[in-house]
Chains A and B, each alone.
Chain A
């Protein structure tokens, strides 16, 4: 396990919160079972009993207990449900854009069995009472288990540390000022020192605000032509290098969020080679789209970090393949329609991503043969372990966290609307292949596609 802090063991699944739901009793018959960690890769039956994986067997070999629903899953793939360590649920403060209920419903609809929510809300999650109130809400509303990160600095102002130890006791999963970098090296150094007390990773949004300036898209040929101020790749990579050096010096544990630039991948590789406890994530949009896709100034494709050049995208894919990038994270960032219906330079940054993450990468990377399905599934489930949470597995005895996919079904993004309360998808209108039929999260059925009718036993 990469860079676990002293004393921080694997937490129980109870560290995440979800609403009470009846445990799943389900016999999934004849699906292609695929789990790169357990080595499963072939047709079989999967029995979920009382919310846990109870039995795995050859197709047609398992018997459904009387309580269990039997699903004919021939032609479908059963995968461990995905884990997204980077979601904006917008609660508290922007419930018009998303809330715990809608955001976790979108997660379930995308095949996610667990997510982590970012603290850049209004107010910021920087005290234990705010965190506790969110956890309480999740226990009432969340369709899939949710963990909450707390801020590194008070009000994300970048100057004073939050009560990290207190927040850790209240159940924070990690700390981040995501949305903003920790601009001051001195403050980040103190956070890395204090981290030893809290025992939790720091997740870092890497950006030098001076280099980003008023930039609204990747600095390159497209921004030059459009006359839109650019965000250079070095805005990210210099901060990755700085923070990796700080983490190495303080023996801290850092997770780099939403890598976008080739130079940043190289900086992470160097830090890993030097033994720094550093992990990294990349988003489906940075893995599938480039700055050329922004030429039309579609505000759904305005995000931070920005969509970069093709060479950057290739470096991210290579990093995902090699393991320099540990996991996929969506950076699901809902925004109100009226805010996205502004000129590009004025519109807020962010795209929703939970409902399209797997389908986009399956379509853009797996089907053309760039990445294997098994590796994609591994990287889409790897985020949990980075935060010392149990990895979803198709293993007897594990809490059921399973998704059923029809990998041949195509659909047009947005045509049937979104489960998210917002519609700012950078893949809107695209035809993707791979559709979720059913998601079991935290041992309970969290999502069922309308097409997959229930067959009570």
Chain B
């Protein structure tokens, strides 16, 4: 695997391998010194064309825990602000010889363009409304930790599907893992022919009781102004996941940040059925696994976590970290 652009590029076995690697990194994260020297001497560029807290910080932590040098490029105040094109920015950053570029852009296809213009590996950290593959991977990881195998699970993705890259990556990802996916939301916020991603479409939550997993999407306030729904009140009345709608056997997920009282009620956010905090926590180890997959796996069995790890950093011991599925 050279880049991570879309979940559609991953086979189920690729996903399994990344999730298993994330498990082994979870063990590292439990230590007091949460660092392994896998990417020592290699540079990771975080190129973010949109404000983002959790995605950019978890990529930053993931890179640092793998001992990479990290370059954070926020577009505000940078050359981009002065009208530099994406191509020139990528070419310029490539001159620093990064091993990997993480790109977040408001535009679909930006990650492919970056991959065309840099020799580095590229991770799509969100391109327009198209995809957010590492979010989907961390969601799979989190859910698998809670329930084990995902085959046959019924997953409902609820809310503003039209504007959601998380929805698109997750329909693909849950589908790859053998789940039955339904998307539900106001008809104004569900694109025509979204079924072609491999999901059913429902306009109401009448059959939500069938779901094993309820994945609520963020309802952005600016969509209200776009008149996609008549009011937040009516949206909440029809689509909010609350204590009435969420059945005791169901698991609740949300990519964050949550609009309390809009897509989710306070009681369900704080309930033990919610995996929202675990999703954030999984972000770091899953992104470590993605960086490892692209930069360090090299097709070989995971014999080591890199070559540079010898004298200066005697621990943790390689064998302890490597190749442990659980």
Contact = CB atoms under 8 A, between A and B. Distances in A.
Interface of A: 219-221, 223-228, 230, 296-297, 338, 341-346
Interface string B87-113: 100000000000000000101111011
Select the residue from A220, A225, A296, A297 with max chain B CB neighbours within 10 A.
A225
A456 to B, nearest CB: 49
A150 to B, nearest CB: 34
Contacts of B128: 227-228, 343, 345
A226 B108 contact: yes
A296 B113 CA distance: 10
A288 B315 CA distance: 62
B50 to A, nearest CB: 13
A1 B115 CA distance: 54
A344 B107 contact: yes
A342 B165 contact: no
Binding site secondary structure of chain A:
loop
27 contacts: A219-B192, A221-B193, A223-B191, A224-B192, A224-B193, A224-B194, A224-B196, A224-B197, A225-B168, A225-B196, A226-B108, A226-B109, A227-B108, A227-B130, A227-B163, A228-B128, A228-B129, A296-B112, A338-B85, A341-B85, A342-B86, A343-B105, A343-B107, A343-B127, A344-B109, A345-B128, A346-B107
A261 B112 CA distance: 29
B263 interface: no
Given A220-B193, A221-B193, A221-B196, A228 B85 contact: no
Contacts of B87: 338, 341
Closest 9 CB pairs of A and B: A227-B129, A343-B107, A297-B109, A221-B196, A227-B130, A221-B193, A224-B191, A224-B194, A224-B193
Contacts of B60: none
B131 interface: yes
Nearest to A309: B193
Interface residues of B, number: 25
Interface of B: 85-87, 105, 107-110, 112-113, 127-131, 163-165, 168, 191-194, 196-197
B192 A343 contact: no
Contact of B108 (A297, A338, A341): A297
A297 B112 CA distance: 9
A273 to B, nearest CB: 30
A143 B112 CA distance: 40
Contacts of B163: 227
B131 A227 contact: yes
Given A228-B129, A297-B108, A343 B194 contact: no
Given A219-B191, A226-B108, A227-B165, 19 more contacts: A221-B196, A224-B192, A224-B197, A226-B130, A227-B130, A227-B163, A227-B168, A228-B128, A228-B130, A230-B191, A338-B85, A341-B85, A343-B107, A343-B128, A344-B107, A344-B108, A344-B109, A345-B128, A346-B107
A226 B109 CA distance: 8
Given A225-B196, A228-B129, A343 B191 contact: no
A166 B194 CA distance: 52
A230 B105 contact: no
Contacts of B86: 342-343
Contacts of B196: 221, 224-225
Contacts of B112: 296-297
Nearest to B164: A227
A342 B89 CA distance: 12
A230 B107 contact: no
Contacts of B131: 227
Contacts of A346: 107
Contacts of A223: 191
Nearest to B8: A225
Contacts of B164: 227
B83 to A, nearest CB: 11
B184 to A, nearest CB: 15
B108 A228 contact: yes
Contacts of B168: 225, 227
Nearest to A343: B107
Contacts of A345: 107-109, 128
Contacts of A220: 192-193
